[in-house]
Structure formats: structure tokens, C-alpha cells
């Protein structure tokens, strides 16, 4: 599934079949903040590939990749 991860003027895309990867990425992006700024919505492949500004995770990403 493709996701758009966005906060204000900053956005990323990611593709994963593992929801734990999405949750880990959101937690990492929102680290050290009192309020979560980043959120994710599922998008279709055409939208993701047509508007991609940065790929945050992909099919081989693991939740552990966001634990630094």
C-alpha cells in the first residue's frame, strides 16, 4: 500500500504491506515533539508516483529501521 505522510509543507511517500513500518516511521518523524505533526493517509499508486517528493520507506523497510 502507498502512503502519503504529511505535516504542513513537508511530505513523504512510502510503500509497505507491513503497517508496523508505517507506525514506526510516524513515531520517528514525530519524535521529540509535544504534538504529533505528521500523519499518513493511504493513496493510490498513480498519485504516489506522480507526486512523490521523497520516499521514506519501501517494501524491504522494517520497523527497526526507524529506531535511531
What confidence category does residue 68 fall into, taking pLDDT thresholds of 50, 70 and 90? low
Residue 58: C-alpha distances to residues 7, 8, 30, 35 (Å): 20, 23, 19, 26
pTM: 0.84
More confident call, 51 vs 1:
1
pLDDT computed for residue 16 by the predictor: 95
Q: Is the pLDDT of residue 7 over 80?
A: yes
> For 10-65, what is each residue's pLDDT tens digit?
899 999 999 999 999 999 999 998 899 999 999 999 988 888 888 899 989 999 99
Amino acid at each position: 500500500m502507498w502512503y502519503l505522510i504529511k505535516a504542513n509543507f513537508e511530505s513523504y511517500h512510502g510503500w509497505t504491506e507491513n503497517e508496523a513500518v508505517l507506525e514506526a516511521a510516524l513515531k520517528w518523524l514525530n519524535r521529540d515533539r509535544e504534538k504529533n505533526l505528521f500523519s499518513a493517509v493511504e493513496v493510490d499508486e498513480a498519485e504516489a508516483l506522480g507526486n512523490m517528493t521523497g520516499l521514506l520507506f519501501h517494501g524491504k523497510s522494517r520497523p527497526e529501521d526507524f529506531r535511531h
